[in-house]
Structures are given as structure tokens and as C-alpha cells.
Amino acid sequence: MQAAAMDPAEEPPSMLWGLDPTFSAFARLYVRDILQMTESTQVPGSIYFYNMHPIYKVDVLGTVVYKREREDFFCYGVDDGTGVINCMCWKNDLLKEREDPSKTAGKHSDGAQGGFNPVTELKKLKEAQQKRCRLEIGELLRVRGPVKTSRQQREIMASTYYKVDDPVMAEQIAWMMEAPQLYRQCYDKPLQLQTSVSGDSAISSLSKAINIIKDFLKQKSVTRFRPYDVQDLLQPLISSQPQTASADQEPVAGSSGCQQLRQLLKEALQVLQDEGVVYRRVKSQDEVYLVTAEDKDLQIAVKDVIREDSKREKYAEKGCHVLHILSAVRQRSSLNVSKAALELVLKSLECNSDIISTMENHYIAF
């Protein structure tokens, strides 16, 4: 079903689109929502809006339900369970190559003599790459690229695409778990792109508060803290805001100023938790936040899980999936460890060469 164009009066000006993080990201939207997005009147056929978020490129994982092949491209119909969208996947030069049968026979005979044959090995790599790009009906495809309207139909012009090997549906389950979180935390929250002073001031204050807390944690090498340890650091942000109170009132020292300070601190800490910078090992009245990058116990727990489970036959080849690691760490360390916090720890361990990534979202210990 094709959605109508947006009312020009409601559409935010194009100069503000870059303020929305989704504009520069590959949005992981359901196919149903991609097909129903409202089309921009300023850039028709290329820019769309989902809940006022400007979208022009998406990331889709689904099953191939139809295919057409032409000389220069494949057309794959991808079904993610909510709808089907056409994906235009251009062939690279490798897929267009045609080898001489006599040369192919010669290469195979050379390889049969034993030893390492670079030509034969290169041919194997090319065949493996071709196999990843040629999909059949029923296979799983991941495709990224801008959304275009062609012949009054929405389709994805793939910039990247490949077949996903998912025999136990681990990738699909991970995708289905992540997508609702992205909708709740981002796509379903309309971004207000007003240019009003009050709106800009609120956004600016929150950004400054987050940076102030991050700088404090980094400079002091803080491993854990409580809200009141950093609350006073944000006081200048409240004091510098324009006040509407009368001249004979104290604008900041009163209850309204304290409430604003507590609210700003609460929002900043929530953002830091969403980013995985901090987390709470135990949720209790005594609010203790641990700094993820400085929590040695968490790093040891993650490393132990990967080292022990990498020895198991099930994970020996591909390594441990990030969701498996997250589940095991939550059992060992804390139920409140978020995926974002775990990813920061994994990145740190990989930088220190304690673990390596065998493929996307899979890790193995040295």
C-alpha cells in the first residue's frame, strides 16, 4: 500500500533533517512501515518520513520470496513477516565474469599437484563471494540501501547485500529482539525539530550535562558513583537557563530549581545507561552506578564466559553470539547488564586482543 505525500505545512524544513540521528543511519524498519512511510514533498521519491523522522536509507533482513536476474542486477522480493519489498541488487564485476573452460581445467590440474596454488585459492574465494550474492527462494537476505520510488512502487536500491547463513535462526531471533527496542527508543518517539529557544535550550542542557558527567568520570577514573556525587556539577546549567520568575523570587535556589536539577540529572543518567556507559548492578534505593569501562569484575566475567564456552563444540567454529554472552553474563554478574554495556566491554577486550570477532556479533577467546 502506497502512502500519500506529506502536507508541506507539516513537513520540517530540509535544513533541520540532519539533527535527527536516523537521517544518517540505516533505519531498521519493518517492511510494512517502509511501504507506508509518508513521502517528502521537498525531495519526492527519495526522502520519506516515519513518525516525523526523515528516512532515506534502511536495513532489512528477510526471506527471498521471488527473484529475477538481469545482466546487470538481481531483483529479490524480501519478506520480513510484515510485508514484501522489492530489492534492486546490482552485480559487481566479479558476478559478470565468464571464465574460459580450458583455463578452468588447467587451473584445476595445477591444483591437483599438491601444495598451495594462489590461482586456485583465488578462484575458490571468488566462488564463495558469488555464492553469497546469488540467492534462491527461501534463503535469508540482508540488504542495506536507500529507498526509492520507481513506477509508483517502493523499492530498496541495495548498496550492500548478502546471504545470511542462519540454520538455527539465531540471526533472525536477534533481529526480532532488537527491532522492538529501536522502535521504542527511537522510531516511535517523534523528534521535535523546532527552532524555538526553549526547545534548543532543553536539548543543549541535556547534551552538556551528559558531556560534563562523562568528562568527570574519565578525568577522575571513577569506578562507581551515586547521583549526588555528580549533581552539583550540573548546577551551572540550571543557573544559566532563562528564568520566568519575578524579581523578588529566587529562581534557582527554590524548589523549582531543585526539581529541574534532579530532572536533568535523571535524564542524563538514563541516556548514559542507554549508551552502556554506566549501569546499576543491583537496583535498590541506594542508587549506585558502575562505570562500564572501569568495571574489572564485569570484564573478567565476560572474558571467562567467552573463554569457557569457546571450547564447547557448539561455539568452537563461529564463536559465542553476543546474545548468548549477554545471557551468561547476566547469570554470573548482574541481571541489569544491558546489551549496550556488554558491547562496550567486548570492544575493549577486542582492542586489548583478549578476544577476536569471528563474524558479526560472534566472539571467540584466544
Please compute the mean of the pLDDT values over residues 150-178 and round it to a whole number.
Answer: 91
Q: What is the pLDDT of residue 101?
A: 44
Work out the mean pLDDT of the chain and round it to a whole number: 83
The residue among 109 and 186 whose pLDDT is bigger is 186
CATH of the domain spanning 14-93+132-187? 2.40.50.140
pLDDT beyond 60 at 180 = yes
Q: Name the band, by pLDDT with cuts 50, 70 and 90, for residue 241.
A: low
What is the third-level CATH fold of 295-365?
Arc Repressor Mutant, subunit A (1.10.10)
Spans of all domains in the chain = 14-93+132-187, 197-242+252-291, 295-365
Q: What percent of the chain has pLDDT over 90?
A: 42
What DSSP string runs through 52-118?
Answer: TEEE-EEEEEEEEEEEEE-SSEEEEEEE-SS-EEEEEEE--HHHH----HHHHHHHHHHHTTSS--H
Q: Which of 52, 338, 356 is nearest to 190 (CA)?
A: 52
Give 87-100 as a 3 state SS string. Answer: EEEECCHHHHCCCC
Say whether 295-365 and 14-93+132-187 share the same fold. no
pLDDT beyond 50 at 286 = yes
Q: What is the pLDDT of residue 104?
A: 47
Q: Name the band, by pLDDT with cuts 50, 70 and 90, for residue 175.
A: very high
User: Is 197-242+252-291 in CATH node 1.10.10.980?
Assistant: yes
Q: Name the band, by pLDDT with cuts 50, 70 and 90, for residue 290.
A: very high
- b/e burial code for range 171-185 (CB count within 10 A of at least 16 → b): bbebbeeebeeebee
